[in-house]
Amino acid sequence: MASTTMSCCVLLIFIFLTSIMVAFSGDLNNDFEITWGDGRAKIINNGELLTLSLDKASGSGFQSKNEYLFGKIDMQLKLVSGNSAGTVTAYYLSSKGSTWDEIDFEFLGNLSGDPYILHTNVFSQGKGNREQQFYLWFDPTADFHTYSITWNPQRIIFSVDGTPIREFKNSESIGVPFPKNQPMRIYSSLWNADDWATRGGLVKTDWTQAPFTASYRNFNAEACVWSSGASSCASASTSSASSSWLSQELDTTGQDRLTWVQKNYMIYNYCTDTKRFPQGFPPECRTN
Ligand SMILES: *[C@@H]1O[C@H](CO)[C@@H](O)[C@H](O)[C@H]1NC(C)=O
């Protein structure tokens, strides 16, 4: 019985995976919609550029039109420059409901010349508390850089300009739920979080510098698109998908770069925070 069920599922997964869609459109209007901010978020330059802004009255945000179940999702971001202390630019994938899954990039602003913190987290079935934080090896406000999430059934890889900074492996075999059943949308927002973001809330947003602006361009998703209500992916593929991301794992170069980032730029890892977990680390810390 178990093996019949198994082969049925393997077959289904196979059918499902052969209908990968590649979203590669230059026009951000095709893939995203502005969701809040009363005019503070804009898609401009014929859909080439999206900007979010924040002032004292409000931040702003957008979301993807599609929901995705696995994919390699790239976006170029240029963060709020100058004195961005107190501001947070969140860029993440999330599903809905009380047992949601979520894969987060959050950029915590800082005083001019002081480093941003890139904060990452992974939620599965509504449970997060898996923070890792990094400084970057470049100024993320000076130019656009590519932030990628590779999400397949075995792992989630966070990358910056092609350099992996974090890998979250599927640890279901030791009882840790992994995001793999709930389609997720891409969300992004720019908002004020000066109660905690910069030096733990010590540095407040300087509203004389407002409006604050973050920019987005060159979205590229090689991903499985979930079509409304149907339990299979849309096959509106326009190009032959090289779906290597679906089974992607880190090769030696990737491993080396990950080690380099973790050694030189990681400033917080929940898996080494003994104060926080006096009774022992979460189980996935053993496999990750
Ligand atoms: C801001 O700069 C301070 C001082 O260099 C640093 O301790 C902190 O980690 C930086 N980033 C944030 C978001 O607070």
In order of start, what are the domains of the chain with their CATH numbers? Answer: 22-286 (2.60.120.200)
Quote the longest CA-to-CA distance of the chain. Answer: 67
What backbone phi and psi angles, to 5 degrees, belong to 191? -150, 170
Name the pLDDT band for 245 (thresholds 50, 70, 90).
Answer: confident
pLDDT per position as a tens digit, 44-88: 999 999 999 999 999 999 999 999 999 999 999 999 999 999 999
**Mean pLDDT over residues 262-280, rounded?**
97
Query: How remote is the CA of residue 217 from the centroid of ligand 1, in Å?
Result: 27
In ligand 1, which atom is closest to the CA atom of 114? 2
Q: What is the pLDDT of residue 254?
A: 96
* Best of 105, 111, 114, 267 for a ligand 1 pocket test (most atoms within 8 Å of beta carbon): 114
CA of 166 to the centre of ligand 1 (A): 20
Q: Is the dihedral of CA 190, 192, 196, 200 positive or negative?
A: positive
Query: For residue range 197-216, what is the model confidence (pLDDT) as tens digits?
Result: 999 999 999 999 999 999 99
Report pLDDT for 1. Answer: 36
How many angstroms separate the alpha carbon of residue 175 from the centre of ligand 1?
36
* Phi and psi at residue 21, to the nearest 5°: -115, 145
| Dihedral angle sign, alpha carbons of residues 186, 218, 178, 234 | positive
Q: Is 48 an active-site residue? A: no
Marked catalytic residue, from 102, 167, 222, 284:
102
Task: Give mean pLDDT, residues 100-110.
Answer: 98
| pLDDT confidence of residue 201 | 96
Please state the pTM of the whole predicted model.
0.90
Average pLDDT on 91-119 reads: 98
Q: Which residues pair with 132 in a beta bridge?
A: 120, 269
Listed range (125-129, 174-178, 230-234) with the worst mean pLDDT: 230-234
User: Residue 288's pLDDT is what?
Assistant: 81
Residue nearest ligand 1's atom 7 by CA? 199
What the block records as the tokens of 77 is 């971001």
Protein residues with CB under 6 Å of any ligand 1 atom: 108, 110, 114-115, 117, 197-199
Ligand 1 centroid to residue 265 C-alpha, Å: 13
Task: Provide the 3-class DSSP secondary structure of residue 207.
Answer: helix
CA 20 to chain centre: 20
Ligand 1 atom closest to 203 (CA): 14
Is 102 labeled as catalytic in the residue annotation?
yes
